[in-house]
Amino acid sequence: MIKITHLLLAISSIVIIETSVIAQVIDKDFKTSYSHFKIPDNIQPNDYMANTVIVKLKPQYRSISSANTIEDVLFKQLYTSIGGAGLVKKFPHSPPPASAVNRSGQQLMDLSLIYEFTYSASVSLEKVINKFAQLPLFQYAEPHYIPHLHYVPNDPLLSVQYAITNIQAENAWGINTTTARGDTNIVIGIVDTGTEPTHEDLKSQIKHNYADKIGGGDTDGDGYIDNFSGWDLGMNDNNPTWEGSAHGVHTSGIAAAAVNNAKGIAGVGFNCKFLPIKIADATGTLTKSYEGITYAADHGCSVISCSWGGTGWSQMGQDVVTYATINKNALVIASAGNDNKDLASYPAAYQYVISVANVRSDDRRSASSTWNYSVDLSAPGEAIRSTYSGNSYADLTGTSMSAPCVAGAAAIVHAFYPSYTALQIGERLKVTTDNNYSLMNPSFKDKLGTGRLNLYKALTMANTSPSVVTTQRNIIDGNDNTFVIGDTLQLRDNYTNYLAPTTNLIATLSTTSPYVTIVNGTATLGAVATLGTANNSSTPYKVKIASTAPLNQPIIFKITFSDAATSYTAVEYFTVVVNVDYINITINDVATTVNSRGRIGYNLDNQVGGLGFNYMNKGTIMYEGGLMIGVDSGRVSDAIRGFTTVPENEFQSLVNVRKIVPATVSDFDVDGTFNDNLAKIPIKIKVHQKTYAWASAGNRKFVIVQYVISNTGTSPLTNLYAGVFADWDIDATTFKEDRTGFDATNKMGYAYYTGANGTYGGVKLLTKSAPVLNYAMDNIAGGAGGIDPFTGGYNGFDKYSTLSSNRYNAGVAGTGNDILDVVSTGPYTIAAGDSIKVAFALIAGDNLPDIQISAVNAQIKYDGIVTTTSISQNTMLNNPDVMSVYPNPTNGESIININILETASVELKIFNLLGAEIKTIASEKMQAGTHRLSYDTSALSNGLYYYQLTVDNKKYIHKLMVSK
């Protein structure tokens, strides 16, 4: 049925082409107006029957017709003059419809008045058709077109490639023999585990770099020696042959296996080439994943296929994708994941990436496929036959198979629409899918993208559909940008229309959540041209957070785009977490989380809500972490495990942690406050925590946490110790091959995996007001002679002992143990109403010298923080003696005056309210004196921005209001 439907669509398209060349003429013999027919130039003689005409009678002449006659004098004269013969009804078994319209008022089709005949005269078909078209009897006269089987290659395994049929690739390839079958200059980057360059179905499809043929040198100067046939980033050589896993061999074939070579399978990309980019090491571990995307973008790939991912978001990952897409105009396509759950996977869920879910041969969701609002479309991915190792073929299942299917289709669309940008190609694929949601459980609605890929429609559907996407979203609450109960959020969005123009585009915000109220949810965006932009800055969406909102409540919002004139509708989802009490820090190589109640790594137990302590995007090396403060064995306040592995949760948030925008101390500042009122026996303390992280070289492998601990009671606190507890799980396989150590020089307790090339994690004391202590525990029965948290739990007595005493080594026997570690400082005495400050660096690295270097750098950074913050916050945030801005508000040029007391390194940047850098205005050495700088704000949307001035180690912030 699907094939027949699209065959009819193909014929309809021919009719459209025909009518485009119709001209009104007057026939001198019949003195009547008619439409002149001409066979279109793209129709070949074998596309229609010679000397054969099809006509359709007008309904009012039904009475003069029968099965094989038309009783009309003029018709019979013309019919006889050309040697007409064999007049018959085309559909003799189709009676006239009983009524003109159906119950919906739609016109019913009458096939009973269609006739066909042949003729023997030596007269052109065009002339004969035009003669009959002049008669008043007929609605139309036309040739008998011959439909062909849409292109069927001779690859012997094509019959088992149901995906080729489902996405209508053969029909698409059959549109014409050039652009619809791709282009050898269009390259698909297969960023995977490597390929098999000698495979019979792949060897002819590899894109070779003729600027750097094999010869032992870097002929093209790109930094890679002899990268003639791709590159192995995992092993840093020019042989992209797979190692560890043949996964990449399979994905290569799906996207780009040779077609019509009488061998194996057919790749969706037909004539398009592929560039094998191996990102795995010898074991198959993906060690160079995002480097692979960059390599593909830099080496001419217009489509990049990534059949891999994870749940960890990183700014680097987004930056790489942005580079490939925006800088290099390459479309990144990624698999959505095989977790069988509602989950965002990366890189698939990054902005600009086309995320692909997996559907079966019957278009239902594959049982293993991830689903999520971040998915853009679906493609076949279950039991997919493709190339495999040893010059063989194999059936594999997963979104890994779906992504290269879409990548191959994207390459064909690129060849067919060469003027399209990468993002336009992606949007074209999205708006031309087949809607298969009627086959899905309602819970998957909008979570498998717009539907299942249809390559034929992507090439043939008229270019009348817009495709509007949110390209920037600014959310503010008018104060501290910590979205808590009672706040009214303003959402200002920028939109881009990638395809056909809109006429009167409306965007509507909605949600089903009871925890917010939409005060204003409609934006009239109007006419938006192709590649044009629009925004709702003048009338932002407004959302009020209800008093009933739970902590860390995710609110799913839906944007519905509609344009009645073009019949365009589309939806887009995004999530805003309100009443939050944790922050993810992903600015450098140690992605982690801090919450509002003293926990580090995760917001809740069982690794819920957070990133752990993720070094170099390899996965977390910490199961649990957090602050402990104790004054005796009966009074220890913390938010980590107790008698069981469930956290004590004795800290209560007073001010939820929030990102300081823009950052004033580091590149990512976090601030929050809590007390210990939830403890069974409170110490009566308040803790003001600050967290700092940097993205600069030398400072990327640590995060600093600082705690100002205040005595809120009426009596002095004595023998107070404060420390960071860490359950290190550096060995990700068994968690039982870790060992601890202590570096007295750097005041750092650390843990490491005892196997080869083991990662190191550590906690370093930064403050100097009390000594460092380190207690390491073996998390096994008996505790290996130390405190035993494994058998009896981690009670208050044990906690105070580990805070106030030393045991430097754990996991010393054999290959190590499951270990825990506490790095602390004390004793302190805090008078009533007074406070102390303690700070620690959380560090990860490749080896001991690596974390020791970071320990030194962390100390330098922290000492600089202490110096810098000796200036009052008000002075730092707004010091007119140092920086002044006018006019403010502004609708155009903004003038910034800077007063420098002595020669210094000066940097001036402007940020939006989300902390995203808009531009570096100046970065130079300046002499003492007053300097006048300017910045043109005409490209900025209305709203609040910040200038950040850095003079040597000191930062100054000044607000800027743009109002047009």
By C-alpha distance, which of 293, 285, 187, 291 is closest to 242? 285
- Which tokens in the block code for residue 831? 């008078």
The question of whether 199 is a catalytic residue gets the answer no
What is d(CA 578, CA 675) in angstroms, rounded to the nearest whole number? 21
By C-alpha distance, which of 301, 530, 296 is closest to 410? 301
By C-alpha distance, which of 22, 12, 107 is closest to 462? 12
- Which tokens in the block code for residue 257? 């296996």
What is d(CA 785, CA 775) in angstroms, rounded to the nearest whole number? 13
By C-alpha distance, which of 612, 594, 604 is closest to 640? 604
What is d(CA 468, CA 531) in angstroms, rounded to the nearest whole number? 9
- Which tokens in the block code for residue 157? 């395994």
Kindly give, in sequence order, each residue whose CB lies less than 8 Å from that of residue 697, ignoring residues fewer than 6 positions away.
none
**3-state DSSP percent of the chain in helix, strand and coil, to 5:** 20, 35, 45
Q: Which residue is associated with the tokens 């995004």?
A: 574
- Grouping H, G, I as helix, E, B as strand and the rest as coil, residue 630 is strand
Q: Is the peptide bond before 827 cis (omega within 30 degrees of 0)?
A: yes
- Which tokens in the block code for residue 262? 């009488």
Q: Are 526 and 502 in contact (CB under 8 A)?
A: yes
> What is the maximum alpha-carbon separation in the chain?
120
Cα–Cα distances (Å) from 454 to 70, 359, 448, 451, 770, in that order, read: 44, 13, 15, 9, 68
Q: Are 571 and 446 in contact (CB under 8 A)?
A: yes
What is d(CA 335, CA 347) in angstroms, rounded to the nearest whole number? 8
Kindly give, in sequence order, each residue whose CB lies less than 8 Å from that of residue 212, ignoring residues fewer than 6 positions away.
218, 219, 220, 222, 224, 225, 226, 227, 228
Kindly give, in sequence order, each residue whose CB lies less than 8 Å from that of residue 259, ignoring residues fewer than 6 positions away.
153, 155, 173, 181, 266, 267, 270, 271
Q: Are 851 and 845 in contact (CB under 8 A)?
A: yes
For 627: left if phi > 0, alpha if psi spans -120 to 50, otherwise beta; the answer is beta
Beta-bridge partner residues of 944: 961
Name the active-site residue from 247, 250, 299, 414: 247
Name the active-site residue from 400, 537, 596, 801: 400
What is d(CA 917, CA 495) in angstroms, rounded to the nearest whole number? 19
For 169: left if phi > 0, alpha if psi spans -120 to 50, otherwise beta; the answer is alpha
What is d(CA 273, CA 213) in angstroms, rounded to the nearest whole number? 18
Kindly give, in sequence order, each residue whose CB lies less than 8 Å from that of residue 388, ignoring residues fewer than 6 positions away.
246, 249, 250, 253, 394
Quick one: CA dihedral 398, 401, 407, 409, positive or negative? Answer: negative
User: Amino acid identity, residue 465?
Assistant: S
The question of whether 443 is a catalytic residue gets the answer no
Count of CB atoms within 10 A of residue 48's CB? 16
Name the active-site residue from 192, 376, 729, 798: 192
The question of whether 596 is a catalytic residue gets the answer no
What is d(CA 215, CA 841) in angstroms, rounded to the nearest whole number? 49
As annotated, the active-site residues are 192, 247, 400
